[in-house]
Amino acid sequence: MGMAVLGWLTERPVATWGEQWMRSGFLHATFSRAIAGGQHLMTEESDASGLVSTTYRDAQGRVCVAGTATLTASADGEPLVDVRDVVPRSPLLAPRATDLDGATMPPLTFTFDAARDLAFLDGQPDAPEWQRRGWAHPAWLGTASNAVIMGNIDFDGRPTSSGRWLQVSADIALVAPVVDGEVVELRSRIGRITRRGRHDQHHVAHLECTYRVGARVVARLRNSFVFATDEPSPAPPHP
């Protein structure tokens, strides 16, 4: 599932606000349960005073993913910050709070290829809006933040009892369109560590990301993910 599911959550805001949201909108997504291919999902939608929401539930009625979009960031949410630090490539970090808290990641640079990077939207109602403009989709930006996590944290070397990587939420603030052929630099750091779950057993890292094209900021994102769990359980833990 991961960040690709963000492709399902932009239909409503694009239909509601169009290009205005695509240029500078805000999206909050919460991931609650894993989604597998072929799974039957039910959709709920709602509008309320400047806010549109989309929720996907499984056949048992359990929430799998929920998204909320606004034209500006929620007033009661934690502001997304600019990351300016640059550090050289270093050994992989262990999935431990002592290693991750405050860690700055090496910058990641990549080129946006509209034909390639928007193909995953094929069949989605708002796909033509992104594809005809050649603008990067929020899910593509989110996937880059996951690449930072995979490239800098040694999940393969973790102890068996530490749990596993689970997506918790994503907050994305669009600042300006990323257009076809532009080179994007992503700078990121772990802003804080928190705990989630009934018994605070899940350790959550909040990765702050800033995307730039040249000197201008084009997006900010917070990728919150479980990196360890105090005790293993027979079923995958969900925050």
Domain-by-domain residue ranges, the chain?
Answer: 3-72+89-228
Closest CA to 165 of 184, 182, 149: 149
CATH superfamily of 3-72+89-228: Hotdog Thioesterase (3.10.129.10)
Q: ∠ at Cα 126 (122, 128), nearest 5°? A: 65
CB atoms within 10 A of CB 32: 18
**Average confidence (pLDDT) over 1-19:** 89
Indicate if the pLDDT at residue 237 is higher than 50.
Answer: no
Predicted pLDDT of residue 178: 98
**Average confidence (pLDDT) over 46-57:** 90
Q: What pLDDT digit, counting tens, does each position of 153-197 carry?
A: 988 865 544 547 889 999 999 999 999 999 999 999 999 999 988
Q: What is the pTM of this model?
A: 0.90
Indicate if the pLDDT at residue 45 is higher than 50.
Answer: yes
CA dihedral 3, 175, 45, 126 (to 10 degrees): -80
Indicate if the pLDDT at residue 236 is higher than 80.
Answer: no
As a residue count, the chain comes to 239
Q: What percent of the chain has pLDDT above 90?
A: 65
Asked whether 165 and 155 are in contact (CB, 8 A), the reply is yes
Residue 199's pLDDT band (boundaries 50, 70, 90)?
confident
Indicate if the pLDDT at residue 232 is higher than 80.
Answer: no
Residue 239's pLDDT band (boundaries 50, 70, 90)?
very low
Q: Is 222 exposed, middle or buried (0-12, 13-18, 19+ CB in 10 A)?
A: buried
